[in-house]
Amino acid sequence: MSAVFTVVPSFSPENNSIFYTSSLGNRFYAYIGLETHLQIKSARKIFSSAPVGAEPLIANHCVDFVDMAFPGMLPVLNRSSVEQGIRMGLAIKGTVNAYCVFDRKHYFYPDNPSGYQISQQRYPLVERGEVSIVVDCPCLTPRYEKTVRIHRLHLEQDAGKSLHDSSGESLIDFNRAGVGLMEIVSQCDLSSPEEAAAYVEHIQRIARYTKTSDGDMEKGQMRFDVNISVSPESGVLGTRVEIKNMNSVRFLKAALYYEISRQIQQLEQKTPLVQETRGFDEKAGVTFSMRSKEEAQDYRYFPDPDLPTVCIEKDWVQKIYSSLPELFDARRKRFMQNFQLSEYDSFVLTEISEVADFFEETLNAVPKETLENNKSNLSKVASNWISGPLFSKITHKERIKEEVRFSPSQFAEFILCVTEKIVSTPIAKEIFQEMLDHGLSVKEIMQKKNIDLKGKTQEQLMEVLKEIHAENPHQVQAYLSGKEKLLMFFLGQTMKKLNGRGNPEQLQNLWKDYLQSLGKKEDL
């Protein structure tokens, strides 16, 4: 096919929707939905007692007979995996059904030893939720909020992984076979690649806040299938195309941009679109057809006779509900209110709950009265130092407490030092670097680096001395030839330059040393 003209999203206030303009100037609308698979955070697999291996494994040692589908083996549902599903379901404001059923979904693939996947088809664990996302799209400013409806959340098991090496041999890693997954299916409420990206990142945050999944995309703990249709008419879905198995937000956006553009171009050329499944070629940046509707798989779903219907008691759901932590949305809004932070700063600070904890503990360590009198300034300064220098120093934000060598209360001392202008900005940067490198307190660093409280280092003070020397060469000469009383003159000049904020004793010693060193040079 010919080169694709890339479209960009625009906003129409007329029908409050995002549209795309084709190369011929016609308007099109995109409808995007996602199926997100999240690996359930759990010690054991969902239907076997085998442990869930964390790191790439060299042998199949996290494998039970059930995972290998040995004859006569029976799956046993892991209660904590169901609990995790309920927790996530409640966090996305879904309804937990009174009962759910596990079905067999049949397909044949070497990494699927039983020939079927245990999943949920007709009676899922959770239905009808919604999430509120914040979208940052360069073509559409400012950032805006949007509600995305969730169709359902169901539980299922993961397959193994085929590994193909360069010699043409294939190996199968069964450690992942039988690991519990939550699949979250959204409605087609998303209208742009940026919205899809914001949605995926939001789901990841909720999973991390609730500790139901680590959602590490690089480790394949979070993968998504995306469906997309394009239509010339607002509110009407077009022909649905699915792109399978993505695990990167960057590629998700690239694949969607390509696909929206391709579909629009094809509609304009009056070539009908086919309902199909496509893959994304990461290197070429294009999608390609994998199979059309005619070749679509028939999974022959039926209830798994080895697993009974799961009844979910109300009390259990209630208990899980009351144990939910304050979630991202609530926390972001509370930060805006309580700490008088902007929406953007609150967003950045609350994205990861451990970072939000660190920020909050810092401000709580500031004496109450001081905090109340200067709240917006203190929180803004703390926020800037965290999102700037601190973030650039740490590798894993969720491990902020382990990676940062100073405590929130030591950080609070530093913030006070900055807001009360005890030190200048360059000195503050120097102190902060020391705190990051060695974890000392502000006071310890000031002592160590010989920074006086007026915020000059020894080196900077020396610069001032040299300046005065250059301005008063005759007085220096006179001093060196014996007029020692001139020391007071130099001291006066220095205090003047420092606006009276120097430490006279320190300065006097500094001058003595400096002049003595000049004298020695002259002797030579």
Using CB under 5 A, list all residues that contact Mn ion.
Answer: 183
Helices marked H in 439-501 — which ranges? 442-448, 458-471, 473-480, 486-497
Nearer to Mn ion, 180 or 238 (CB): 180
Q: In DSSP terms, which residues pair with 163 in a beta bridge?
A: 171
We find the least distance from the C-beta atom of residue 37 to Mn ion, in angstroms, to be 6
Nearer to Mn ion, 39 or 383 (CB): 39
CA–CA gap between residue 90 and residue 127 (Å, rounded)? 10
Within its chain, how far is the Cα of 458 from the centroid?
41
Nearer to Mn ion, 40 or 400 (CB): 40
We find the least distance from the C-beta atom of residue 117 to Mn ion, in angstroms, to be 8
The full DSSP string for 216-229 is: -TTTTSEEEEEEEE
We find the least distance from the C-beta atom of residue 119 to Mn ion, in angstroms, to be 6
The full DSSP string for 384-440 is: HHIIIIIHHH-S-GGGHHHH-SS-HHHHHHHHHHHHTTSS-HHHHHHHHHHHHHH--
Nearer to Mn ion, 127 or 183 (CB): 183
Nearer to Mn ion, 37 or 456 (CB): 37
Nearest Cα to Cα of residue 30 among 181, 198, 234: 234
CA–CA gap between residue 339 and residue 355 (Å, rounded)? 15
The tokens describing 217, both together, are: 């995309």
We find the least distance from the C-beta atom of residue 276 to Mn ion, in angstroms, to be 19
Q: Which residue is nearest to Mn ion (CB)?
A: 183
We find the least distance from the C-beta atom of residue 116 to Mn ion, in angstroms, to be 13
Strand duo 241-246 + 276-281: pairing: parallel
| Single-letter code of the amino acid located at 504 | P
CA–CA gap between residue 290 and residue 246 (Å, rounded)? 14
We find the least distance from the C-beta atom of residue 185 to Mn ion, in angstroms, to be 9
Nearer to Mn ion, 33 or 502 (CB): 33
The residues, ordered by sequence, that sit 6+ positions from 304 with a Cβ below 8 Å of its Cβ are 75, 102, 103, 104, 118
CA–CA gap between residue 418 and residue 161 (Å, rounded)? 53
Nearer to Mn ion, 135 or 159 (CB): 159
Nearer to Mn ion, 183 or 194 (CB): 183
We find the least distance from the C-beta atom of residue 156 to Mn ion, in angstroms, to be 5
We find the least distance from the C-beta atom of residue 183 to Mn ion, in angstroms, to be 4
Residue 482: Cβ-neighbour burial (10 angstroms; 0-12, 13-18, 19+): exposed
